[in-house]
Every structure is written in structure tokens, then in C-alpha cells.
Structure 1
Amino acid sequence: MAEYKRRSVEKAIIMALRDLGGSASRKAIRKAIADNEYDGLTYDQVYATKEGKTGTYSPFLFDFNFGIRNLRSVQYIEEPHRNQDIVLTKAGENDDLTNYPSLEQKKEIRAYWDKKDKERAERNKNKHIEKSGDESTGPEDQEDTKDLNWKNQLITQLMKFDPSKFESFSRLLITKMGVVIDKDRGIVRSGDHGIDGFGYFTSDEFRTSRVAIQCKRYTKGAVSEPEIDKFKGVMDSFNAEYGIFITTNYFTDRARKKATQGNNTVTLIDGQTLAELVEKYQLHITPVNTYALDDYYFDLK
């Protein structure tokens, strides 16, 4: 895995937003960048964390949050607001990114940060934000970091599970998602038939579908196309109408394409999506009740 090195990620943000329809949450933008490897960024680089002097941090998040501000300074996105989507402007939707940032855009970015530095100095803040922008984290940025940290800790712990416990965890999650595990065929050891669970899902239209479940506790590398192809073959032997493939890591682009081909589609749940589902269903986690201030308190004018 190539270690993440500090860099500009503005192009990747714009590419993700364009493919997401021009408006998306910060979390969705990062997921799209990781899944599609925009501008050469990989899944591992987007979600990697490091230990620093003040605790665990995400190198990519520094550049991501810095990039959001840079894109606003050149009018490629609308003014960001807390807990709201990032929205492209017409320029952000249509401009050619080949020569981004242009000389003129570099001047606009520099002017933006010079103004921010002057405003901070006037407010006599204790924390100084260097011109590099490394410390340019606001309250929402800090929340993103905290969210990423506990989810990465969760994924790390799941990777330490033995195969039996991970399969049991996966079936518990799938049950929370509305799949009823077949008591006779629902617990099938992967060494026997190549799946880790079987059950039924009834939609709002009362249509019941047969569901096959596969779990891969990967610590390195991604789930590749042959793994999906093999799973689809096993699904056929169980007469399953669709499948759910869970991994602690991520899927290659070819694997994701294979999952949607043919009649039997496969829902892919990677490590970050897995953490999102654990949060959604409150699965063996303890909520920390707190409050987040809205923009009113951060507009000092």
C-alpha cells in the first residue's frame, strides 16, 4: 500500500461532485474519491490514519478540508455550511480542470488565506494557523476526524475477529437490515459451500427474495473480481436471487462492476460502509450524547 503524501486533492473533489450530481455530503465525496480513485487517490490513502503528537489523525482529511476552502476561494463551490451538502457552482460544473489551478486561481487562493490569517490575528486567537493550511481545521473538520477515528478503530477490531466470530457478527448485522436467516440453511460454513449465511428478505411490496451472504475478513488488499464471480456461482447453487458480500477492506473497480452484471446482483459492503451500518443500527456501540453548534456561533461579524 502506497503511503499517503500530502498533496492537492481539489481535482478529486470536483470529479467526485460532478459524478454525484453536483451536490453531496463531505462523507459521500470522500467515499466516491476512494471508490473511483479520482486523480490517483486510493481507498487506503483516503481512509488511512496516523498517530501524531495530539492523537490519531487523517492526513487526507487535512488536504480535503483545505481543498474545500481553496475551491470556495476560486468560486468552484458555493459557501459551505455546517451539516449541509457541498454544492458545485456553474464554474465548478463546467470548467476544464487540466490546468487547475491556473496562475490567476493561485492568486485568488493566496489572497483568501492571507485574509484569513489577518482576521485570525485581529481576533487574537491562541491557535495560529500556518500558511500551509495544515492547522486549518474548523469544528466540522474536527467532527469528521473523530467520526473517522472511531470507525477505523471498529474496522481494526473486526479484522482481529476469528472467522467464526466475524461471520456471526455479519449475520447479526444482516438480520438488523431486515434479512430473516433460515434456521436450517442460514449458517453454512464457508469451507463447506462457499457462503456464510442464507436467508429471506421481504420488501415493502411483500415480495420475498432469497439472499446469500458472504463475509471476507481481509486485513490487506481488496476483494477482486474472481471472488465475486465465485460467489455468484455459489448463489446459483442456492437459487439465491441476490447476494450480500461483506468485507473489512474494499472492492476493486472490476469487482464492483461484476457485482451488478447479470440477473443475480450482489450488494457490496466495504469497511467504511460496514462502519456506517454499525452506527445506523447501533450495533454494540455506545452513543456519546453531545451537541454541535450551528453556523450562527461561528459567524463573528
Structure 2
Amino acid sequence: MTDLTDPSPWTGPSDDPNDEQFGDIVETATLATAAEYDVVLVGEPYDGAVIGRPGARAGPAALRRELGGTKTHHIERGPVRSVADLGDIEIPAGGVEQVQRAVRSVTARVHATSAVPVFLGGDNSLTFPNAAPLLAHETVGAVSFDAHLDCRAVRDEPTSGTPYRQLHDAGLDALAVVGARHFETSTAYHDYLAEQGGTVLPPASVAGDPADAVDDALAALGDVDAVYVSLDLDVLDAAAAPGVSAPTPGGLSTRELFRMLGRVASDDRIAGFEVVECAPPLDAGDRTARAGARAVAHFLSGLGGSR
């Protein structure tokens, strides 16, 4: 049975005794002790389903490294607390469907704890097993920060472009995509999402007021019981996040993204969060991993000091 690797201890690199970094406060835990924390981190080192350039299997290690050196204090919300690391999901050999089944067997157990899971990817194909366990119990909506809609039809096997088609087929009730680019997703997939009642907010609709854009995305989900939030780092402009499978110009700024993540996390229906498509071999100066780690920090701060 697929399981979790033992997490490594976290340390903060600063030698200033007044500095508190995530490396100082993130503890190691197991599924048996996860309920003692508000948030648990889970790594997913996999990029076997990526449509574009591989490299995201190295994402969890890079995100942890950058988060470890990030200070815990948000100026308006105070310090983040009560975070643990459960380690990485052991990814089996085999096809994408086999990997998704194995990952889902672990994420179901993570969701069964009282902690909010934060999945560190990995490619976007794992959005399906990360969110799917929620569908068995509640009405679920997803907010996807992504340059693409990722609702392609599954043909031979799932890919990083199919997770929301899979989730809709499994019972996802609502989807709002924030930051989707013009000229990046074909008409057929926009039509598909429209048929599902989905909402698309392109970057221009975010620029005026990111907080309002998030409120619009959440309102588009209606009265679902649970909200799952996905961040594909390619939603950022290519200059801010070159280390992704498919970097493109015209994306969100890090400032816009961070503000939106802190706000969306304040919704009391949040049932999980993920950061996907961080590909360190494709990065420049660790910019993408650093942006991804800050994104996690802003999301956690929005949970109210990690709830």
C-alpha cells in the first residue's frame, strides 16, 4: 500500500535569535498525530503526467527549502502557527491512473484528519486525487489559480491537463478559474466549462481589485459545503515564475496572487490547498520556488494563524 515517507526535521537558516522562520515552527508528524495541528504539509514528487516540460517532481523539496527560510510573521495577521509536515507520498511505478489511485488512497486518509492539508506538488494531474476524496462526503467547489482551464478530455491516460474534467465527472459541483490567459486554452474547453456552469476570471479582471476578484470566484461556487484551492504557479507572469512547465506572459503579479490567497483562505469552508507545477530544474535564481513558498505562507496566514 502506498504510504508517506518519514519527514525530515525543519530548521530555520537565520542565526538571529529574534527571527522566527517556518523552519523553526514546522514540526514533523504522522497521520496518527496530524489532528494535533491545524495544517499539515504533504509532498508529491511526481511529474509523470505533465503535458509540457517535466521537472515538478523536484518541487516539494524546493518549496520546503524556501518556506523553511521564510519568516512566519504577516504584518496584518501576525505569525503563522500549528503547522506539521507529514512527508512525501511514495509514488509507485506505473501509469498515470495507477499513480492517481495510489495518491488518492493516501490523500483520503489525510483529509480524514481534522487538519487542513497543503499538498506540495508535483504536476497538475495530482489535483484529481488531492481533491477527489472530498467528493464522497460533501458538495465541493474549487478555486483554481491557473493560466489554463485543465479540463481536457481523458484519452489514453489522464494528464496534467485533465484534472478538472475528471473532477467534474466524479461530482465536482462548481469551478472558478482565476488568472486564465487569453489564447492559452482552446474554445472547446471554454465551452465545456461554460456548460458545467464554471466561471473564468482572466488577469485583467484581477488587476483592478484582487480581493473583489476572489470574492467573485467564491460567490460563483454558490453554497457548496467545502472549497478546495489549487495554485498552478504558471498563473504568475513568466518573469515571476519561469520554473514551470508552461510559462507564459501576461499573468498575475506575485502581489496580486498573495493578496488573493490570503483572502480566499479566510473562507471557513476551505478543505485543502495545493501548489503544483513548481519545476526547479527549469527555474532561474529560485524565483519560482520562492514565489511558491511565499504563496503557501500567505495562504496559511489567511487561515487565521493557521486556523
After TM superposition, the score normalised by the length of structure 2 is 0.22
Q: Which has the higher helix share?
A: 1
